[in-house]
Amino acid sequence: MIALAALMLLQGAAPAGPPEEDFEEVQEITVIAQRLRQIGVHVSRDAQGKYQCGLEETTGLKTLDSALCKAVTGCVRKGKDSQDDVRACVEKARPSLLARIRDYLIAERAGAGA
């Protein structure tokens, strides 16, 4: 099993100087980013060669948990086997993950207001 701990996935995720109406959204993204920094991700292969991914804890967002596992597993499939190599590879996925967080928060707010 390949153990990958404390991915610094979204370090520095919040944009500087957001407009006032975006402040709450930025705060939520920052809290989620802080959770991500502390989550260990474990990727292994079963007897059939299928990749398995597990998180030591959840981000609190099922969609983001899935995206995190997909990003890490994709890096391992590409042959990244050290923690530093995987971290650098996953870092490339940061814009996509940030977009997912933002889309989730927007959809959640739209649903809550209806």
Give residues with Cβ within 8 angstroms of 111, minimum separation 6: none
> Residue 26 pLDDT more than 50?
yes
**For the chain, what are the domain ranges?**
2-113
**Where does the pLDDT of residue 42 fall: very low under 50, low under 70, confident under 90, or very high at 90 and above?**
very high
pLDDT at 16: 52
Query: How far apart, in whole angstroms, are the C-alpha atoms of residue 62 and residue 92?
Result: 21
Which one-letter amino acid corresponds to residue 108? E
Residue 67 confidence class, pLDDT cut points 50, 70, 90: confident
| CA atoms of 89 and 75, how far apart (whole Å) | 6
Cα distances from 80 to residues 5, 71, 72, in angstroms, run 14, 12, 9
Q: Which helix (H) or strand (E) holds 97?
A: helix 94-113
Question: Is the distance from CB of 52 to CB of 46 less than 8 angstroms?
Answer: yes
